[in-house]
Amino acid sequence: MKITGVDTFFVDVPLQAPVSPYQSRYICSTSTGALLIRIETDAGITGWGETPQRLSFQNAVSFTGAEADYFRPILLGKDPTDIAALYADWGMGEEPYRQSLVEMACWDILGKQAGLPLHRLLGGLYRDRVEVTCCMGIRGPEEAAAISKHYVDLGFSTLKTKAGRSPEEDLAMVRAIRDATGDRLNLRIDPNMGYTPEVALQLARDLEPYDLQYFEQPMHKDLLQESAEIRQQTTTPLALNESVTTMKNVRKILELDAAQYLLPDTYQCGGIWAVKLVGEVAASASVPCIFHCAHDLGLRTATMLHMAGSSPNFPLANDCTYYSLENDIITEPFEIKAGTITVPTKPGLGVDINEGMLKRYLVKSSVD
């Protein structure tokens, strides 16, 4: 089988309340942007991939109209089922966003060729429904309380909220959520590397009475020794996301005992197989993983479901903002019931593109 065609599409789908507006410490989002790729083969099989919008990537690729022009010289004539070669020989190892986009489409093609859903190729089904979080941007105490109660009513068990502008704001938000929902929600907060080690340590100690499930990436991604030291000085569990990139970094995190949980993602690690490897290596150190979310559409959500569905070491609720989308670009959008989603069972990623929705939310295409 050979790749005969490559097209790319930039789409942007509005978010709905209460997720929108989604305020992190550095940006406020009201939509989910993604770069999609469509790979065609001489066997008549088409694969799709998705990677999240990132400003530098978007400016360098999407808005210049050069997306497919970048990929075609690398991909045309290649066998998309040679996924190991994608990692080793196709020249995208330094571009995890781009590599993850292509790799997802290759797995989609391989699954369709084999007539098997992705989770079968990743080891088989371990759980047929995957638990997901509800997510919230930074909010004032009253809003945070109201939104958290709303999520409890919808049947979610886990809430993740953005943080990182100030420790006082974070504590007020956490206190309001706990006052409103008690222990009915597992609670996570994510400062997105917003604090120095000194501030992160004090905040972790101040958060101890509120029984967080974990405190995610409070400091810069390179401060692994500092993360290990904080773990020794507080009972608040520490999780790392931005630090989880290469296997070298993962090994260092585990050697230092710098995190109680890891949050790998395809666009940071370089693909589905890379996330699978992180999960397996972390399991050898008894460190559970959570699949990270970057405001995902249906393709990346499907990937998360296959990964978590096939991997015992993804036991907790995985990050998700899917329920906040106005719509999706797949034909049968996922349904969330009591905070869980069923793992797809059709071949490949198990989802099909809705061409009408693709056109509706299209911002820029290399073939427009």
CATH of the domain at 170: 3.20.20.120
Shared-domain flag, residues 94 and 147: no
Only one residue has tokens 């009408």, namely 356
pLDDT at residue number 46: 98
Assign 198 a pLDDT band (cuts: 50, 70, 90).
Answer: very high
The gap between the terminal CA atoms of the chain, to the nearest Å, is: 27
Domain of residue 160: give its range: 121-342
The number of CA neighbours under 13 Å toward the Cβ of 338 is 1
> In the chain, how many domains are there?
2
273 belongs to a structural domain: yes
| CA 246 to chain centroid | 16
pLDDT > 90 fraction of the chain, expressed in percent and rounded = 89
For residues 289 and 212, state if they share a domain: yes
Same domain? 73 vs 205? no
- Give the SS3 label for residue 339: coil
Strand partners, 180: none
Q: Could you tell me if 42 and 132 lie in one domain?
A: no
- Cα 18–chain centre separation: 20
Which residue bears the tokens 């919008």?
Answer: 53
Residue 295 falls inside a structural domain: yes
CB 33 within 8 A of CB 10: yes
| One domain, residues 40 and 170 | no
In tens, the pLDDT along 54-113 reads 644 444 344 445 688 899 999 999 999 999 999 999 988 778 989 999 999 999 999 999
Same domain, 188 and 91: no
Say if 332 falls within a structural domain: yes
Do 191 and 67 lie in one domain? The reply is no
Assess contact for 92 and 74: CB atoms under 8 A: yes
For the beta carbon of residue 70, count every other beta carbon within 10 angstroms.
18
Q: What is the pLDDT of residue 54?
A: 61
14 cis-preceded (ω within 30 degrees of 0): no
Task: Identify the H or E element spanning 340.
Answer: strand 340-342
My answer on whether 91 and 218 are in the same domain is no
353 alpha carbon, distance to own chain's centre: 20
Q: Is the dihedral of CA 262, 266, 271, 273 positive or negative?
A: positive
Residues 110 and 126 in one domain: no
Task: State how far the Cα of 249 lies from the Cα of 22, in Å rounded to an integer.
Answer: 29
